[in-house]
Structure 1
């Protein structure tokens, strides 16, 4: 119930205040981070007390102190432990450098949007377009798409995580591995975000594999992809205020199949797919975003909520 309420109330606040996309994404990411942390905390601590029998010879479990819980809430990890390896001192110069890089990357995001995305898509819905316009812009959008992809990885998993790790003297700095050298999609998903990957493995995959569907590796893996895809799509849907499940199809459909097959496609093929996949995401989401401004809504409320308005734009112009 606590987790459900933690989803409902922030979303109501986001819709009521009518915040911008960037603010929505920041709030939703923080919401998701706290949900994952609280699940990890309860999942790790509860078995100690559930397995304890009051009249047995086993000593009662020592519950985590509030200071340990509070440290976990801010530590750059999603796996709960009572104690973590710590460094001896804080290098404040290193902290300032990383936070400065966070600020620079945010300005770089704005530059990419203003130079490569907005000038191309802001007129969608105001004039007719040929079908080849969509194909051309998917190809062109691969440039801002891959720039967004790399910059987001650097901002969150390098600069932001290292800054907080240094301030909290958190010694385990393995937030990502060499995902850019991946030769298969399974290798990529295991290396590009170690923080989230560890949480998914410890609290979703293992519970599915050992408890829910014993020894069914394929179903456990698919469940991990389904949950991850739903959360990604949830953030985009509430941040942009429309439902357009492109990422859900890419992540849960195509992505899960490629990982389950575990085909060695080669590093060049991986990077080509990154460019094309991110180009599709940027192109379709930007098209729908500006269609919400320039195109008339569907007459039915639920149809307008669930169906992309960009599908109906060209038909309206033809009429």
Structure 2
């Protein structure tokens, strides 16, 4: 399974014709497949262990939950009846990272709902490309000189100018991906669990934001990483820190590989979410906590964008010019 991460990374790093956009797509796709296959392996391992014990009633209740519909059919599936190519492919394309033997299924495909989500996907894709080219790129290009000269005043001005389009694009990407595209694939596959996000915009703590803005990843981390660490005897603090470390690793992996550079400041910046979450949760409440979360989103992301673009420019374009 490690090859799911190392092979695409090696291809992106060794093949010069792979662009950063193409690298993000390839690395992101293989990362999703890695998480899905890990969940598939874990769940079938748990079912296999249950089948070995003599508590057949308990094993049947855990491996065969009650459901009206299942992956690709209308009957319940029990282990090892789920070990089919059809079942695996359904899980690969389903908008979830956590495998189940019997997914909840919707009764039919609503064409009007499907077409609305398709229109939203196409609309936001065009908007993201257009606003990036017409708004963000000129600001980023004008920011290279202040960054090189370490002009703090102009750097701050460029950062604040970049914060507006960056945040707008982030919101559009969130809606286009987590609502439009995931609901589109769910409707097409009659996938019944549509909880892809919660009310993260009302977050009063950083922890609540990370737990609710990306439900599929949160469920995977909780089920396959956090709880196994607790069962092994680790404390909650250590387990939470390990989850943040894993998240920081994958965030840096998804960015550093396509850009062909690793930046320790970005990795430590992700890990800085741990003391930030502690400080906000301890000293800020209500609207003040919500304001702190929003400020970390609005200011933190454009700062990271500027740093990455600057380093990418220095490494790849200035060296060629010299």
TM-score (normalised: structure 2) = 0.82
Give 5+ residue unaligned stretches, structure 2: 60-77
Q: CA deviation at 1:266?
A: 2.2
Pick which of 233-242 and 60-69 moved more.
60-69
Partners of 1:205 and 1:296 in 2: CA distance: 43
- Cα drift, residue 177 of structure 1: 0.6
- 258-267 or 78-87: bigger deviation: 258-267
Q: Which residue of 2 aligns with 1:154?
A: 175
Give the superposition deviation at 1:140: 1.8
- C-alpha distance in structure 2 between counterparts of 1:70 and 1:177, whole Å: 27
Aligned to 2:212: 191
Q: 1:129 aligns with which of 128, 149, 165?
A: 149
Are the aligned partners of 1:125 and 1:295 in contact in 2 as well (CA < 8 Å)? no
Measure, in 2, the Cα distance between the counterparts of 1:205 and 1:194. Answer: 15
CA distance in 2, matches of 1:138, 1:179: 24
1:266 and 2:289 aligned: yes
Give me the CA root mean square deviation. Answer: 2.7
Equivalent residue number for residue 257 of structure 1: 275
* Higher RCO (CA 8 Å, separation ≥ 6 residues): 1
For residues 233-312 of structure 1, what are the structure 2 equivalents within 5 Å? 233-253=252-272, 255-261=273-279, 262-263=281-282, 264=285, 265-296=288-319
Q: 1:127 Cα shift?
A: 10
**1:163, 1:21 → 2: CA distance?**
26
* Aligned match of 2:45: 46
Q: What is the alpha-carbon distance in structure 2 between the residues aligned to residue 159 and residue 276 of structure 1?
A: 26
- Residue in structure 1 matched with residue 6 of structure 2 by the alignment: 8
| Structure 1 stretches lacking a partner, 5+ long | 298-312
Q: Which residue does the alignment assign to 2:139?
A: 120
How many angstroms apart in 2 are the aligned matches of 1:128 and 1:57? 67
1:81 aligns with 2:81: no
Cα distance between partner residues in 2 of 1:289 and 1:92: 44
TM value normalised by structure 1: 0.83
Residue 170 of structure 1, aligned match among 173, 184, 191: 191
Q: Distance in 2 between matches of 1:12 and 1:99?
A: 34
Are the aligned partners of 2:114 and 2:187 in contact in 1 as well (CA < 8 Å)? yes
With over 3 angstroms needed to count, the CA separation of the structure-2 counterparts of 1:71 and 1:252, relative to structure 1, is same
Q: d(CA) in 2 for partners of 1:225 and 1:50?
A: 30
Of 282-291 and 57-66, deviating more is 57-66
Q: Give the alignment partner of residue 109 of structure 2, picking from 82, 86, 90.
A: 90
Give 3-state SS (helix, strand or coil) of 1:19's partner.
Answer: coil
User: Hey, which bits of structure 1, 4+ residues long, moved more than 4 A?
Assistant: 51-54, 56-61, 125-128
Output the CA distance in 2 between the equivalents of 1:105 and 1:81.
32
